[in-house]
Amino acid sequence: MLSQTTIAAVRAYPDMVAVLQDYVTLRKRGRNYLGLCPFHTEKTPSFTVSPEKQLYYCFGCQASGDLISFVQRVEQLGFQESVELIARRAGIAIEIAPEHARTQRPEDKLRHALQEILAQARRLFTAQLKPETEAYRYLISREILPEFIARFELGYFPMSFHLSEALVSTEITPELLNQTGLGIVVEYGQFSSPFRNRLMVPIFDERGRTVGFGARRLDGENMAKYINSEETLLFDKGSLLFGLHLAKSEIKRQDAAILVEGYLDVVLMHQHGFVNTVASMGTALTSDQAQRLKRLCAHVFLAFDQDNAGLAAVDRAYAVLSDIGVGVRVIRFEAKDPADYVLSVGASGMRNALEDSVSYVSFKFDELVRTIGTYSIQNVSKIVDAIVPFLKQEPDAIVRHHYLKHISKTLGIEQEVLMAKVSDVGYALPRKRLFQTSKQRQNKYVLAEEYILFFLASDKEVQASILTKLGNSQLITASGQELADAIVCATHFHHELLAVLPESQSQHLSQIFVQHSGESLANWAIYCDVILQYRREQRVSELKKKIPELEASGQEHVLEQALAELQSLMGLV
């Protein structure tokens, strides 16, 4: 148990920002620091740290607390463990309380007890992995070297091994053993475990502590090939990455991680020098796992199995990683999995595969061409419809243009057709030439404004509903607002309206009529919501700029009002 002196020193540690920078990229804003929240997915920074108050607060998810509570949450640790981690990071002496002063929270005590049992079990399984065992022969058949068997502390659970008897501790009760995820104590004190006669793969957390096990069957065709520990206080496979305790330094150094699916994929990749490799615990990549990678690097290479499940896993991983701003590349190889591939081509071949990795858009397009085919115009149309959503997500105009050029050439269609699809406008060449504006691609807010103008000019009742819903909210552009005012004042609709408007506004509205004539008037409220969202975001931006000025000027009352408004708006955006 830590002494109160150590706990007090950690609470008083003045450089909270330095510790949080290990987890969140923070930028100074006035007196505070701002970054993307590590506890929920967001693209607009709302995670605020106050060095003066030694507190953090997220205006997006309302997470808040001090340095200790932050570490508890982000590392999923107990109070004592969090204090120790911060103390080591900050160079604070760790003192243990006298025996009579020791108190420990029940959860911390249970966590510590489970870690001790799992660590002891890991050592026992390792000792059982002898050269004459089937598990050891299997590892050698997979060309895994003894050095890496030892590095990953692989083990074996023989059918006849009595684990519950081998665990040495007077404090291990059946109730406690049942909470380890290793199995359960059944009648007459017998220990039943699904791990018997399996290769044991210990699962470590990021700090190198045993939290559970994976296990591969060695016989029994009707049994699952791989199983994991049951979910426990320590083992949450959705937040763990296999091999991260060994890989994190290299991931930081390279600013990139290689993500695979299997335990032995990780072992063999490390064996061939790719130490920045981790696995997603046999599940689809989760948001928690993605956030852990983001804290360490900005780029992830996906090297998943080359089967349908692996291809689906690529889609899921890209969606999760790209949503939080992590760059994604896909490694393609001619083998069942990365383990087989690296064994067949060696380290140099895998390096070539890394260098030849492709963006997700290129990977997805190639897969669509392979599975759908381009032998008919109907198939080409299907491919275009499937790839367009991913093209829209590409923020870099130069990269997007490269994709458009490559895809249109491969499919044998005009680039203008594909560009029109991506830009959400109808493609009709004469109209395009007559009414084309200087903007090739509109963002969603400008597009929503055009629909609003279309609705205002199309129906009297819809116009009244829009004016009521928008209230005093202005449209996106000055020219759009001027046209809206002119439409409302004219009290005409459709072609009659075009006749009474000034030429420039009549031409603008003509373009809108042509491009959006197929839109249902019933959708007016959807586009109003987009406009209102834009105005909320603008107000959030204004407040974020204003708050540091108010802090500097000492206008506490006005500052409190601004913070309250910002919090309310961030909850709505």
The pLDDT of residue 413 is: 84
Alpha helices in 324-443 (DSSP H): 338-355, 360-372, 377-393, 397-411, 415-422, 429-435
Looking at 99-113, 242-256, 401-415, 508-522, which range is the least confident one? 99-113
Sign of the Cα torsion 22, 25, 31, 32 reads negative
Q: Do 464 and 494 belong together in one domain?
A: yes
- Which of 230, 189, 198 minimizes the C-alpha distance to 217? 198
19: pLDDT strictly greater than 80:
yes
Task: Tell me the two tokens of residue 82.
Answer: 């969090």
Q: 404, 422, 440 — which closes off a domain?
A: 422
Query: Looking at residue 160, which CATH number applies to its domain?
Result: 3.90.980.10
CA angle, 51 as apex, 45 and 57 as ends, to 5°? 40
Query: Looking at residue 82, which CATH number applies to its domain?
Result: 3.90.580.10
Q: Do 127 and 82 belong together in one domain?
A: no
Q: Do 158 and 268 belong together in one domain?
A: no
β-strands 155-157, 64-65: how paired?
unpaired
Q: Do 374 and 312 belong together in one domain?
A: no
- Which of 428, 441, 386 minimizes the C-alpha distance to 513? 428
Distance in angstroms (rounded) separating the CA atoms of residues 253 and 207: 18
Residue-number span of the structural domain to which 529 is assigned: 428-573
The pLDDT of residue 284 is: 84
567: pLDDT strictly greater than 80:
no
User: What 8-state DSSP symbol labels residue 118?
Assistant: H
Looking at 65-79, 222-236, 293-307, 551-565, which range is the least confident one? 551-565
Q: Do 91 and 50 belong together in one domain?
A: yes
Maximum CA extent, the chain: 94
Looking at 56-60, 484-488, 525-529, which range is the least confident one? 56-60
Q: Do 226 and 309 belong together in one domain?
A: no
Query: Looking at residue 307, which CATH number applies to its domain?
Result: 3.40.1360.10
Please list the residues that pair with 304 across neighbouring strands: none
Please count the structural domains in the chain.
Answer: 5
E strands, 130-254, in order: 155-157, 184-185, 191-192, 198-204, 210-217, 226-228
Task: Tell me the two tokens of residue 535.
Answer: 């105005």
Spatial contact of 508 and 499, defined as CB atoms under 8 Å apart: no
Q: Do 201 and 339 belong together in one domain?
A: no
The pLDDT of residue 426 is: 40
| All residues at 6 or more sequence positions from 61 whose CB lies less than 8 Å from its CB, including other chains | 37, 39, 40
Q: At what angle do helices 308-323 and 360-372 cross, to 10 degrees?
A: 150
Q: Do 346 and 372 belong together in one domain?
A: no
Q: 99, 121, 147 — which closes off a domain?
A: 99
User: What 8-state DSSP symbol labels residue 188?
Assistant: G
Looking at 143-152, 259-268, 553-562, which range is the least confident one? 553-562
Looking at 250-254, 459-463, 473-477, 496-500, which range is the least confident one? 496-500
The model's pTM is 0.63
Distance in angstroms (rounded) separating the CA atoms of residues 540 and 573: 9
Exposure class string for 189-215: b at 16+ Cβ within 10 A, else e = eebebbbebbbbbbbbbbeeebbbbbb
> pLDDT for 427-454, tens place per residue?
333 333 323 333 433 478 888 999 999 8
Distance in angstroms (rounded) separating the CA atoms of residues 436 and 492: 25
The pLDDT of residue 222 is: 63
Q: Do 248 and 331 belong together in one domain?
A: yes
**Termini Cα distance of the chain:** 44
Q: Do 489 and 530 belong together in one domain?
A: yes
Q: Do 381 and 338 belong together in one domain?
A: no
Q: 356, 389, 412 — which closes off a domain?
A: 356
Question: How many C-beta atoms lie closer than 10 Å to residue 481's C-beta?
Answer: 14
| All residues at 6 or more sequence positions from 141 whose CB lies less than 8 Å from its CB, including other chains | none
Q: What is the DSSP code string of 416-470?
A: HHHHHHHTT----HHHHHHH--S-SS--HHHHHHHHHHHHHTT-HHHHHHHHHHH
Mean pLDDT of the chain: 85
β-strands 226-228, 210-217: how paired?
antiparallel
Q: Do 116 and 129 belong together in one domain?
A: yes
Spatial contact of 239 and 311, defined as CB atoms under 8 Å apart: no
573: pLDDT strictly greater than 50:
no
Distance in angstroms (rounded) separating the CA atoms of residues 191 and 445: 62
